[in-house]
Protein backbone atom coordinates (compact mmCIF):
# COMPACT_ATOMS: atom_id res chain seq x y z
CA UNK A 1 0.00 0.00 0.00
CA UNK A 2 1.50 3.38 -0.98
CA UNK A 3 1.87 6.11 1.66
CA UNK A 4 -0.88 8.49 0.48
CA UNK A 5 -3.44 5.67 0.31
CA UNK A 6 -2.26 4.29 3.68
CA UNK A 7 -2.51 7.77 5.23
CA UNK A 8 -5.97 8.23 3.77
CA UNK A 9 -7.11 4.88 5.17
CA UNK A 10 -5.68 5.70 8.59
CA UNK A 11 -7.39 9.07 8.53
CA UNK A 12 -10.67 7.45 7.56
CA UNK A 13 -10.37 4.87 10.32
CA UNK A 14 -9.46 7.55 12.85
CA UNK A 15 -12.41 9.67 11.72
CA UNK A 16 -14.76 6.72 12.02
CA UNK A 17 -13.43 5.95 15.50
CA UNK A 18 -13.86 9.57 16.57
CA UNK A 19 -17.41 9.62 15.19
CA UNK A 20 -18.21 6.39 16.98
CA UNK A 21 -16.73 7.78 20.19
CA UNK A 22 -18.72 10.99 19.85
CA UNK A 23 -21.88 9.03 19.14
CA UNK A 24 -21.23 6.92 22.20
CA UNK A 25 -20.65 9.98 24.37
CA UNK A 26 -23.85 11.56 23.07
CA UNK A 27 -25.93 8.48 23.67
CA UNK A 28 -28.73 9.46 26.09
CA UNK A 29 -28.72 8.34 29.68
CA UNK A 30 -31.86 6.86 31.24
CA UNK A 31 -33.44 7.77 34.59
CA UNK A 32 -36.03 5.05 35.12
CA UNK A 33 -38.47 5.85 37.96
CA UNK A 34 -41.03 3.33 39.25
CA UNK A 35 -43.81 4.02 41.76
CA UNK A 36 -45.48 1.11 43.53
CA UNK A 37 -49.30 0.97 43.64
CA UNK A 38 -49.62 4.39 42.04
CA UNK A 39 -52.95 4.82 40.28
CA UNK A 40 -53.92 7.85 38.18
CA UNK A 41 -54.17 10.15 41.22
CA UNK A 42 -51.35 12.41 40.00
CA UNK A 43 -51.68 15.92 38.62
CA UNK A 44 -50.79 15.16 34.97
CA UNK A 45 -53.52 12.48 34.79
CA UNK A 46 -56.19 14.38 36.72
CA UNK A 47 -57.38 11.26 38.50
CA UNK A 48 -58.11 13.13 41.74
CA UNK A 49 -59.10 16.80 41.79
CA UNK A 50 -57.22 17.65 45.00
CA UNK A 51 -53.94 15.80 44.46
CA UNK A 52 -50.76 17.87 44.71
CA UNK A 53 -47.82 16.60 42.66
CA UNK A 54 -45.96 19.74 41.53
CA UNK A 55 -42.78 17.93 40.48
CA UNK A 56 -44.60 15.45 38.24
CA UNK A 57 -46.56 18.40 36.88
CA UNK A 58 -43.29 20.12 35.92
CA UNK A 59 -41.87 16.93 34.41
CA UNK A 60 -45.02 16.59 32.30
CA UNK A 61 -44.55 20.15 31.07
CA UNK A 62 -41.16 19.32 29.67
CA UNK A 63 -42.17 15.96 28.22
CA UNK A 64 -45.04 13.78 27.05
CA UNK A 65 -47.72 12.31 29.31
CA UNK A 66 -49.62 9.20 28.24
CA UNK A 67 -53.15 9.73 29.53
CA UNK A 68 -54.25 6.22 28.59
CA UNK A 69 -51.37 4.00 29.73
CA UNK A 70 -52.13 0.58 31.23
CA UNK A 71 -50.33 -2.27 32.91
CA UNK A 72 -50.19 -5.84 31.62
CA UNK A 73 -51.18 -7.22 35.01
CA UNK A 74 -52.80 -5.51 38.05
CA UNK A 75 -50.27 -6.92 40.51
CA UNK A 76 -46.62 -6.14 41.29
CA UNK A 77 -44.74 -9.27 40.25
CA UNK A 78 -46.44 -10.04 36.93
CA UNK A 79 -46.55 -6.38 35.95
CA UNK A 80 -42.85 -5.79 36.58
CA UNK A 81 -41.91 -9.12 35.03
CA UNK A 82 -43.81 -8.16 31.89
CA UNK A 83 -42.22 -4.71 31.65
CA UNK A 84 -38.66 -5.85 32.33
CA UNK A 85 -38.82 -8.87 30.01
CA UNK A 86 -40.91 -7.30 27.27
CA UNK A 87 -43.40 -10.17 27.41
CA UNK A 88 -47.05 -10.40 28.41
CA UNK A 89 -48.14 -12.36 31.47
CA UNK A 90 -50.04 -14.58 29.05
CA UNK A 91 -46.64 -15.50 27.58
CA UNK A 92 -44.56 -15.77 30.77
CA UNK A 93 -47.22 -17.56 32.83
CA UNK A 94 -46.23 -15.32 35.77
CA UNK A 95 -49.56 -14.08 37.16
CA UNK A 96 -49.02 -14.10 40.95
CA UNK A 97 -46.58 -12.77 43.53
CA UNK A 98 -44.49 -15.90 42.86
CA UNK A 99 -42.41 -17.17 41.14
CA UNK A 100 -39.40 -14.89 40.65
CA UNK A 101 -39.02 -15.14 36.89
CA UNK A 102 -35.42 -16.38 37.00
CA UNK A 103 -36.77 -19.52 38.68
CA UNK A 104 -38.83 -20.33 35.58
CA UNK A 105 -36.78 -22.43 33.16
CA UNK A 106 -38.13 -20.71 30.06
CA UNK A 107 -37.22 -17.28 31.46
CA UNK A 108 -33.96 -18.07 33.24
CA UNK A 109 -31.73 -16.56 30.54
CA UNK A 110 -34.13 -13.96 29.19
CA UNK A 111 -32.45 -10.58 28.62
CA UNK A 112 -34.11 -7.89 30.71
CA UNK A 113 -34.38 -4.22 29.81
CA UNK A 114 -31.42 -3.15 32.04
CA UNK A 115 -29.34 -6.08 30.77
CA UNK A 116 -29.95 -4.95 27.19
CA UNK A 117 -28.58 -1.53 28.11
CA UNK A 118 -25.65 -3.07 29.97
CA UNK A 119 -24.80 -5.21 26.94
CA UNK A 120 -24.52 -2.07 24.83
CA UNK A 121 -22.13 -0.06 26.94
CA UNK A 122 -24.29 1.42 29.70
CA UNK A 123 -23.43 1.27 33.38
CA UNK A 124 -26.57 0.16 35.19
CA UNK A 125 -27.59 1.24 38.69
CA UNK A 126 -30.59 0.32 40.81
CA UNK A 127 -32.07 1.24 44.16
CA UNK A 128 -35.43 0.57 45.78
CA UNK A 129 -38.06 -1.69 44.25
CA UNK A 130 -37.56 -2.46 40.57
CA UNK A 131 -37.83 -6.22 40.58
CA UNK A 132 -40.46 -7.81 42.79
CA UNK A 133 -38.19 -9.41 45.34
CA UNK A 134 -34.45 -9.90 45.69
CA UNK A 135 -32.62 -11.77 42.91
CA UNK A 136 -30.32 -13.45 45.42
CA UNK A 137 -26.64 -13.23 46.35
CA UNK A 138 -23.94 -10.93 44.96
CA UNK A 139 -23.36 -12.90 41.74
CA UNK A 140 -27.06 -12.97 40.88
CA UNK A 141 -27.46 -9.29 41.70
CA UNK A 142 -24.44 -8.37 39.57
CA UNK A 143 -25.97 -10.23 36.63
CA UNK A 144 -29.03 -7.98 36.76
CA UNK A 145 -27.45 -4.55 37.51
CA UNK A 146 -23.87 -3.31 37.84
CA UNK A 147 -24.40 -1.27 41.00
CA UNK A 148 -26.99 -1.82 43.72
CA UNK A 149 -28.09 0.83 46.18
CA UNK A 150 -30.26 0.49 49.30
CA UNK A 151 -33.40 -1.61 49.09
CA UNK A 152 -35.67 1.12 50.42
CA UNK A 153 -39.09 -0.13 51.48
CA UNK A 154 -41.21 0.96 54.40
CA UNK A 155 -38.56 2.47 56.62
CA UNK A 156 -39.58 3.51 60.12
CA UNK A 157 -42.82 2.01 61.46
CA UNK A 158 -45.02 2.80 64.46
CA UNK A 159 -44.71 0.52 67.51
CA UNK A 160 -48.08 -1.02 66.66
CA UNK A 161 -50.63 -0.82 63.85
CA UNK A 162 -52.60 2.39 63.60
CA UNK A 163 -55.89 0.89 62.38
CA UNK A 164 -58.19 -1.83 63.76
CA UNK A 165 -57.56 -5.49 62.87
CA UNK A 166 -58.56 -6.09 59.26
CA UNK A 167 -60.47 -9.08 57.87
CA UNK A 168 -58.85 -12.03 56.10
CA UNK A 169 -55.86 -12.34 58.39
CA UNK A 170 -55.14 -8.84 59.70
CA UNK A 171 -52.13 -8.63 57.39
CA UNK A 172 -49.27 -6.54 58.86
CA UNK A 173 -49.04 -4.43 55.68
CA UNK A 174 -52.66 -3.36 56.04
CA UNK A 175 -52.06 -0.11 57.87
CA UNK A 176 -52.02 3.61 57.16
CA UNK A 177 -52.05 6.98 58.82
CA UNK A 178 -49.80 9.50 60.54
CA UNK A 179 -47.47 8.96 63.50
CA UNK A 180 -44.45 10.92 64.79
CA UNK A 181 -41.46 10.32 62.52
CA UNK A 182 -39.22 12.16 60.07
CA UNK A 183 -39.25 11.98 56.28
CA UNK A 184 -35.54 11.14 56.41
CA UNK A 185 -36.39 7.86 58.17
CA UNK A 186 -38.41 6.58 55.24
CA UNK A 187 -36.98 4.12 52.74
CA UNK A 188 -38.06 6.29 49.81
CA UNK A 189 -36.12 9.26 51.16
CA UNK A 190 -33.03 7.10 51.58
CA UNK A 191 -33.06 5.68 48.06
CA UNK A 192 -33.51 9.21 46.69
CA UNK A 193 -30.48 10.40 48.62
CA UNK A 194 -28.39 7.51 47.26
CA UNK A 195 -29.57 8.05 43.67
CA UNK A 196 -28.97 11.80 43.87
CA UNK A 197 -25.43 11.17 45.08
CA UNK A 198 -24.84 8.81 42.14
CA UNK A 199 -26.07 11.47 39.72
CA UNK A 200 -23.71 14.04 41.16
CA UNK A 201 -20.79 11.62 40.81
CA UNK A 202 -21.59 10.16 37.38
CA UNK A 203 -18.46 9.90 35.20
CA UNK A 204 -18.76 12.05 32.10
CA UNK A 205 -18.87 10.32 28.74
CA UNK A 206 -20.15 7.03 30.19
CA UNK A 207 -23.89 6.52 29.57
CA UNK A 208 -25.90 5.25 32.51
CA UNK A 209 -29.21 3.53 33.20
CA UNK A 210 -30.34 4.47 36.72
CA UNK A 211 -33.45 2.71 38.06
CA UNK A 212 -35.12 4.13 41.17
CA UNK A 213 -38.11 2.25 42.60
CA UNK A 214 -40.39 3.93 45.15
CA UNK A 215 -42.33 1.88 47.69
CA UNK A 216 -45.07 4.38 48.56
CA UNK A 217 -48.02 4.80 48.23
CA UNK A 218 -48.04 1.02 48.74
CA UNK A 219 -49.45 -0.03 52.11
CA UNK A 220 -48.59 0.54 54.87
CA UNK A 221 -48.94 4.12 53.65
CA UNK A 222 -47.53 6.18 56.49
CA UNK A 223 -46.77 9.87 56.05
CA UNK A 224 -45.63 12.69 58.28
CA UNK A 225 -48.05 15.44 59.28
CA UNK A 226 -46.84 17.95 56.67
CA UNK A 227 -48.13 15.72 53.87
CA UNK A 228 -51.46 15.02 55.57
CA UNK A 229 -51.94 18.76 56.00
CA UNK A 230 -52.13 19.12 52.21
CA UNK A 231 -55.51 17.40 52.21
CA UNK A 232 -58.73 18.31 54.04
CA UNK A 233 -59.98 15.97 56.73
CA UNK A 234 -63.46 15.73 55.26
CA UNK A 235 -65.33 13.74 52.64
CA UNK A 236 -64.26 16.03 49.81
CA UNK A 237 -61.19 13.82 49.45
CA UNK A 238 -63.25 10.69 48.65
CA UNK A 239 -63.53 9.40 45.08
CA UNK A 240 -66.96 9.10 43.42
CA UNK A 241 -68.66 6.02 44.87
CA UNK A 242 -71.92 4.29 44.05
CA UNK A 243 -73.46 1.88 46.55
CA UNK A 244 -74.82 -0.49 43.89
CA UNK A 245 -71.70 -0.21 41.73
CA UNK A 246 -71.51 -3.96 41.14
CA UNK A 247 -75.19 -4.59 40.44
CA UNK A 248 -74.52 -5.13 36.72
CA UNK A 249 -71.06 -6.71 37.10
CA UNK A 250 -70.56 -10.46 36.50
CA UNK A 251 -70.04 -12.61 39.55
CA UNK A 252 -66.67 -13.72 38.12
CA UNK A 253 -65.32 -10.24 38.85
CA UNK A 254 -65.34 -11.17 42.55
CA UNK A 255 -63.19 -14.24 41.86
CA UNK A 256 -60.16 -12.06 41.04
CA UNK A 257 -59.95 -10.79 44.62
CA UNK A 258 -61.81 -13.51 46.51
CA UNK A 259 -59.70 -13.76 49.66
CA UNK A 260 -57.32 -10.84 49.97
CA UNK A 261 -55.96 -8.80 52.88
CA UNK A 262 -57.13 -5.50 51.36
CA UNK A 263 -60.41 -4.63 53.13
CA UNK A 264 -63.73 -4.26 51.33
CA UNK A 265 -65.50 -0.92 51.23
CA UNK A 266 -68.07 -2.16 53.75
CA UNK A 267 -65.39 -2.78 56.38
CA UNK A 268 -63.78 0.58 55.66
CA UNK A 269 -67.06 2.38 56.29
CA UNK A 270 -68.00 0.35 59.35
CA UNK A 271 -64.63 1.15 60.93
CA UNK A 272 -64.42 4.78 59.82
CA UNK A 273 -61.26 4.14 57.81
CA UNK A 274 -62.13 5.15 54.24
CA UNK A 275 -61.28 8.83 54.56
CA UNK A 276 -58.17 7.97 56.57
CA UNK A 277 -56.94 5.61 53.86
CA UNK A 278 -57.66 8.09 51.06
CA UNK A 279 -55.83 10.91 52.87
CA UNK A 280 -52.93 8.56 53.64
CA UNK A 281 -52.71 7.51 50.01
CA UNK A 282 -52.80 11.12 48.80
CA UNK A 283 -50.25 12.20 51.42
CA UNK A 284 -47.88 9.42 50.38
CA UNK A 285 -48.37 10.31 46.72
CA UNK A 286 -47.31 13.89 47.44
CA UNK A 287 -44.34 12.67 49.49
CA UNK A 288 -43.12 10.48 46.62
CA UNK A 289 -43.62 13.38 44.23
CA UNK A 290 -41.29 15.41 46.43
CA UNK A 291 -38.67 12.65 46.25
CA UNK A 292 -38.92 12.63 42.47
CA UNK A 293 -38.40 16.38 42.67
CA UNK A 294 -35.18 15.82 44.61
CA UNK A 295 -34.02 13.39 41.93
CA UNK A 296 -34.78 15.78 39.10
CA UNK A 297 -33.03 18.63 40.92
CA UNK A 298 -29.91 16.44 41.27
CA UNK A 299 -30.10 15.58 37.57
CA UNK A 300 -30.27 19.28 36.70
CA UNK A 301 -27.49 20.24 39.11
CA UNK A 302 -25.23 17.59 37.58
CA UNK A 303 -25.77 19.07 34.12
CA UNK A 304 -27.25 15.80 32.87
CA UNK A 305 -30.87 16.71 32.20
CA UNK A 306 -30.47 17.65 28.53
CA UNK A 307 -29.02 14.26 27.63
CA UNK A 308 -31.11 12.02 29.90
CA UNK A 309 -34.37 10.29 29.03
CA UNK A 310 -36.54 10.37 32.14
CA UNK A 311 -39.46 7.97 32.40
CA UNK A 312 -41.87 7.70 35.33
CA UNK A 313 -44.27 4.77 35.54
CA UNK A 314 -46.54 3.03 38.06
CA UNK A 315 -46.63 -0.76 38.27
CA UNK A 316 -50.44 -0.87 38.64
CA UNK A 317 -53.29 1.15 40.06
CA UNK A 318 -55.23 0.90 43.31
CA UNK A 319 -58.90 1.04 44.32
CA UNK A 320 -59.88 3.26 47.23
CA UNK A 321 -63.54 2.25 47.56
CA UNK A 322 -64.51 2.09 43.89
CA UNK A 323 -66.27 -1.13 42.93
CA UNK A 324 -66.77 -1.83 46.67
CA UNK A 325 -63.13 -2.71 47.36
CA UNK A 326 -59.69 -1.37 48.16
CA UNK A 327 -56.52 -2.67 46.55
CA UNK A 328 -55.65 -3.94 43.09
CA UNK A 329 -56.31 -7.31 41.40
CA UNK A 330 -59.07 -6.09 39.10
CA UNK A 331 -59.47 -5.37 35.39
CA UNK A 332 -61.14 -1.98 35.84
CA UNK A 333 -59.66 1.42 35.07
CA UNK A 334 -58.65 2.20 38.65
CA UNK A 335 -56.38 -0.88 38.80
CA UNK A 336 -54.88 -0.75 35.30
CA UNK A 337 -54.41 2.96 34.44
CA UNK A 338 -51.07 4.32 35.64
CA UNK A 339 -48.75 7.28 35.20
CA UNK A 340 -46.44 7.10 32.19
CA UNK A 341 -44.41 10.25 31.55
CA UNK A 342 -41.38 10.65 29.30
CA UNK A 343 -39.05 13.65 29.06
CA UNK A 344 -35.69 14.29 27.47
CA UNK A 345 -34.04 13.83 24.07
CA UNK A 346 -36.45 12.83 21.33
CA UNK A 347 -39.54 13.70 23.41
CA UNK A 348 -41.83 16.58 22.50
CA UNK A 349 -42.49 19.00 25.37
CA UNK A 350 -45.85 19.62 27.03
CA UNK A 351 -47.69 16.92 25.06
CA UNK A 352 -50.61 14.80 26.23
CA UNK A 353 -51.26 11.56 24.37
CA UNK A 354 -54.65 9.83 24.51
CA UNK A 355 -53.60 6.83 22.44
CA UNK A 356 -53.59 3.60 24.46
CA UNK A 357 -50.13 2.62 25.65
CA UNK A 358 -48.81 -0.38 27.57
CA UNK A 359 -45.99 -0.69 30.06
CA UNK A 360 -44.86 -3.50 27.79
CA UNK A 361 -43.84 -0.73 25.38
CA UNK A 362 -41.15 0.71 27.67
CA UNK A 363 -38.48 -1.84 26.66
CA UNK A 364 -38.63 -1.16 22.89
CA UNK A 365 -39.25 2.58 23.42
CA UNK A 366 -36.19 3.19 25.59
CA UNK A 367 -34.00 1.08 23.31
CA UNK A 368 -35.31 3.10 20.35
CA UNK A 369 -34.74 6.49 21.99
CA UNK A 370 -31.20 5.56 22.98
CA UNK A 371 -30.18 4.05 19.66
CA UNK A 372 -29.77 0.49 20.92
CA UNK A 373 -30.27 -2.38 18.49
CA UNK A 374 -33.94 -3.42 18.41
CA UNK A 375 -34.87 -6.86 19.66
CA UNK A 376 -37.16 -9.09 17.62
CA UNK A 377 -38.39 -11.03 20.67
CA UNK A 378 -40.34 -8.24 22.39
CA UNK A 379 -44.14 -8.12 22.48
CA UNK A 380 -44.39 -4.37 23.04
CA UNK A 381 -44.01 -1.69 20.37
CA UNK A 382 -42.01 1.52 20.48
CA UNK A 383 -43.87 4.68 21.46
CA UNK A 384 -41.35 6.87 19.69
CA UNK A 385 -43.91 8.03 17.13
CA UNK A 386 -46.24 9.27 19.89
CA UNK A 387 -43.30 10.89 21.72
CA UNK A 388 -42.63 12.95 18.59
CA UNK A 389 -46.32 13.60 17.85
CA UNK A 390 -48.91 12.82 20.53
CA UNK A 391 -51.59 12.43 17.85
CA UNK A 392 -49.66 9.82 15.86
CA UNK A 393 -51.87 6.76 15.31
CA UNK A 394 -51.38 3.51 17.18
CA UNK A 395 -52.52 0.24 15.70
CA UNK A 396 -53.59 -1.60 18.84
CA UNK A 397 -55.26 -1.18 22.23
CA UNK A 398 -53.80 -1.94 25.66
CA UNK A 399 -54.43 -5.40 27.11
CA UNK A 400 -54.32 -6.35 30.80
CA UNK A 401 -54.54 -9.93 32.10
CA UNK A 402 -55.03 -11.34 35.57
CA UNK A 403 -54.72 -15.13 35.70
CA UNK A 404 -55.58 -17.24 32.64
CA UNK A 405 -58.79 -16.35 30.86
CA UNK A 406 -59.35 -12.94 32.48
CA UNK A 407 -58.50 -9.98 30.25
CA UNK A 408 -59.28 -6.31 29.71
CA UNK A 409 -58.93 -4.53 26.38
CA UNK A 410 -58.64 -0.73 26.60
CA UNK A 411 -58.99 1.32 23.42
CA UNK A 412 -59.02 5.09 23.20
CA UNK A 413 -62.67 5.26 24.22
CA UNK A 414 -63.83 1.88 25.53
CA UNK A 415 -62.97 -0.82 28.06
CA UNK A 416 -63.89 -4.43 27.36
CA UNK A 417 -63.49 -7.16 30.01
CA UNK A 418 -63.89 -10.89 29.51
CA UNK A 419 -63.64 -13.34 32.39
CA UNK A 420 -62.65 -16.99 32.32
CA UNK A 421 -66.31 -18.06 32.54
CA UNK A 422 -67.00 -16.01 29.34
CA UNK A 423 -68.96 -13.29 31.17
CA UNK A 424 -68.28 -9.76 29.96
CA UNK A 425 -68.26 -6.05 30.77
CA UNK A 426 -68.11 -3.11 28.38
CA UNK A 427 -67.82 0.58 29.22
CA UNK A 428 -67.84 3.83 27.30
CA UNK A 429 -65.22 5.78 29.25
CA UNK A 430 -66.06 9.11 27.61
CA UNK A 431 -69.66 8.97 28.76
CA UNK A 432 -69.05 6.90 31.90
CA UNK A 433 -65.55 7.51 33.34
CA UNK A 434 -66.47 5.75 36.60
CA UNK A 435 -67.47 2.52 34.81
CA UNK A 436 -70.87 2.51 36.44
CA UNK A 437 -72.90 1.19 33.47
CA UNK A 438 -72.01 -2.18 31.95
CA UNK A 439 -73.03 -2.05 28.26
CA UNK A 440 -72.06 -5.60 27.32
CA UNK A 441 -75.71 -6.61 26.91
CA UNK A 442 -76.68 -3.57 24.84
CA UNK A 443 -77.17 -4.53 21.16
CA UNK A 444 -76.29 -0.97 20.13
CA UNK A 445 -72.64 -1.79 20.98
CA UNK A 446 -72.42 -5.14 19.16
CA UNK A 447 -69.91 -3.87 16.60
CA UNK A 448 -67.66 -2.30 19.24
CA UNK A 449 -67.79 -5.47 21.32
CA UNK A 450 -66.76 -7.57 18.34
CA UNK A 451 -63.85 -5.24 17.57
CA UNK A 452 -62.54 -5.43 21.13
CA UNK A 453 -62.98 -9.21 21.40
CA UNK A 454 -60.56 -9.74 18.54
CA UNK A 455 -57.75 -8.29 20.66
CA UNK A 456 -58.05 -10.94 23.38
CA UNK A 457 -54.70 -12.73 23.73
CA UNK A 458 -54.21 -15.55 21.26
CA UNK A 459 -51.95 -17.21 23.80
CA UNK A 460 -53.11 -17.76 27.37
CA UNK A 461 -50.24 -19.51 29.12
CA UNK A 462 -51.04 -21.60 32.19
CA UNK A 463 -49.51 -20.65 35.52
CA UNK A 464 -45.73 -21.01 35.53
CA UNK A 465 -44.26 -23.65 37.87
CA UNK A 466 -44.04 -22.31 41.40
CA UNK A 467 -46.95 -19.90 40.98
CA UNK A 468 -48.47 -18.76 44.25
CA UNK A 469 -50.29 -15.90 45.96
CA UNK A 470 -53.33 -14.39 44.23
CA UNK A 471 -53.56 -17.30 41.83
CA UNK A 472 -56.94 -18.19 40.34
CA UNK A 473 -57.92 -21.08 38.09
CA UNK A 474 -61.31 -21.67 36.53
CA UNK A 475 -62.76 -25.05 35.54
CA UNK A 476 -65.42 -24.48 32.90
CA UNK A 477 -66.63 -28.08 32.99
CA UNK A 478 -67.48 -27.79 36.70
CA UNK A 479 -68.28 -24.06 36.57
CA UNK A 480 -66.10 -23.43 39.58
CA UNK A 481 -62.92 -21.54 40.40
CA UNK A 482 -60.07 -22.39 42.75
CA UNK A 483 -58.41 -19.57 44.70
CA UNK A 484 -54.73 -20.08 45.57
CA UNK A 485 -55.17 -23.85 45.37
CA UNK A 486 -56.97 -23.84 48.73
CA UNK A 487 -60.48 -22.44 48.26
CA UNK A 488 -63.01 -23.84 45.82
CA UNK A 489 -65.49 -21.20 44.67
CA UNK A 490 -68.83 -22.44 43.36
CA UNK A 491 -71.41 -20.36 41.57
CA UNK A 492 -73.76 -20.08 44.55
CA UNK A 493 -71.18 -19.43 47.25
CA UNK A 494 -71.66 -16.14 49.11
CA UNK A 495 -69.08 -13.47 48.42
CA UNK A 496 -66.85 -13.11 51.50
Gap between the Cα atoms of 209 and 333, Å rounded? 31
pLDDT per position as a tens digit, 313-324: 999 999 999 999
| Residue 455 CB-density burial (10 A; 0-12 exposed, 13-18 middle, 19+ buried) | middle
Gap between the Cα atoms of 239 and 342, Å rounded? 27
Confidence at residue 6, expressed as pLDDT on a 0 to 100 scale? 37
Residue 24 in this model has a pLDDT that exceeds 90: no
Residue 352 in this model has a pLDDT that exceeds 90: yes
Range 284-296 average pLDDT = 98
**By three-state DSSP, how is residue 467 classified?**
coil
Gap between the Cα atoms of 478 and 490, Å rounded? 9
Sheet strands side by side (includes 407-410): 398-401, 407-410, 414-418, 424-428
Other Cβ atoms less than 10 A from the Cβ of 301: the count is 12
pTM value is 0.94
Please state, for a pLDDT cut of 90, what percent of the chain lies above it. Answer: 94
Q: How confident is the model at residue 134 (pLDDT cuts 50, 70, 90)?
A: confident
Other Cβ atoms less than 10 A from the Cβ of 19: the count is 10
Residue 43: which residues within 8 A CB-CB, separation 6 or more? 51, 52, 53, 54, 56, 57, 60
Confidence at residue 21, expressed as pLDDT on a 0 to 100 scale? 36
**By three-state DSSP, how is residue 324 classified?**
helix
Gap between the Cα atoms of 35 and 215, Å rounded? 6
Confidence at residue 7, expressed as pLDDT on a 0 to 100 scale? 37
Confidence at residue 4, expressed as pLDDT on a 0 to 100 scale? 36
What's the CA angle centered on 476, arms 474 and 481, to 5 degrees? 30
Catalytic option among 55, 76, 316, 370 = 76
120 counts as catalytic: no
Range 273-302 average pLDDT = 98
Compute the half-sphere exposure of residue 152: CA atoms within 13 Å on the CB side of its CA. 29
Gap between the Cα atoms of 213 and 193, Å rounded? 13
Confidence at residue 18, expressed as pLDDT on a 0 to 100 scale? 33
Residue 15 in this model has a pLDDT that exceeds 80: no
Gap between the Cα atoms of 470 and 426, Å rounded? 24
Residue 266: which residues within 8 A CB-CB, separation 6 or more? 324
Q: How confident is the model at residue 78 (pLDDT cuts 50, 70, 90)?
A: very high
pLDDT per position as a tens digit, 158-171: 999 999 999 999 99
Range 223-249 average pLDDT = 97
pLDDT per position as a tens digit, 175-205: 999 999 999 999 999 999 999 999 999 999 9
Q: Are 406 and 419 a contacting pair, CB within 8 Å?
A: yes
Gap between the Cα atoms of 267 and 237, Å rounded? 18
- What domains can you pick out in the chain, each with its CATH number? 28-490 (3.40.720.10)
Gap between the Cα atoms of 50 and 15, Å rounded? 56
Computed over every residue of the chain, the mean pLDDT equals 94
Gap between the Cα atoms of 442 and 440, Å rounded? 6
Residue from 265, 301, 312, 256 nearest 481 by CA: 256
Residue 5 in this model has a pLDDT that exceeds 50: no
**Cα–Cα distances in angstroms (integers) from residue 95 to residues 74, 239, 373, 416, in the given order:** 9, 28, 29, 20
Q: How confident is the model at residue 26 (pLDDT cuts 50, 70, 90)?
A: confident
pLDDT per position as a tens digit, 432-454: 999 999 999 999 999 999 999 99
221 counts as catalytic: no
* C-alpha dihedral sign at 380, 374, 309, 385: negative
**Cα–Cα distances in angstroms (integers) from residue 12 to residues 4, 23, 26, 184, 437, in the given order:** 12, 16, 21, 55, 68
pLDDT per position as a tens digit, 243-285: 999 999 999 999 999 999 999 999 999 999 999 999 999 999 9
Range 5-15 average pLDDT = 35
Confidence at residue 133, expressed as pLDDT on a 0 to 100 scale? 83
Catalytic option among 132, 218, 316, 402 = 132
Residue 113: which residues within 8 A CB-CB, separation 6 or more? 83, 84, 85, 86, 362, 363, 366, 367
Amino acid sequence: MNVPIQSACLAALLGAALCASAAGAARPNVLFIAIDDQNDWVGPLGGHPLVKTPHLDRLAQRGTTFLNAHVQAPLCNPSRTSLLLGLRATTTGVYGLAPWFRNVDALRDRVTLPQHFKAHGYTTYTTGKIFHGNPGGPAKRAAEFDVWGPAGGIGVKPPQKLIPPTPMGNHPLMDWGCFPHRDEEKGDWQITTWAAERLRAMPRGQPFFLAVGYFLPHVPCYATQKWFDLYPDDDSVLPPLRDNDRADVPRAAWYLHWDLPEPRLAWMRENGQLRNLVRSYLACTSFVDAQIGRLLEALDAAGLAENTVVVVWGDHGYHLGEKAITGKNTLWERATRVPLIFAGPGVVRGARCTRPAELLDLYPTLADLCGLPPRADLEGVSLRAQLADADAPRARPAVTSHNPGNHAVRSERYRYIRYADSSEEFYDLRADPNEWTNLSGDPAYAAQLAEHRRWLPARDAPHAPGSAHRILTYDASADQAVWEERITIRRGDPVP
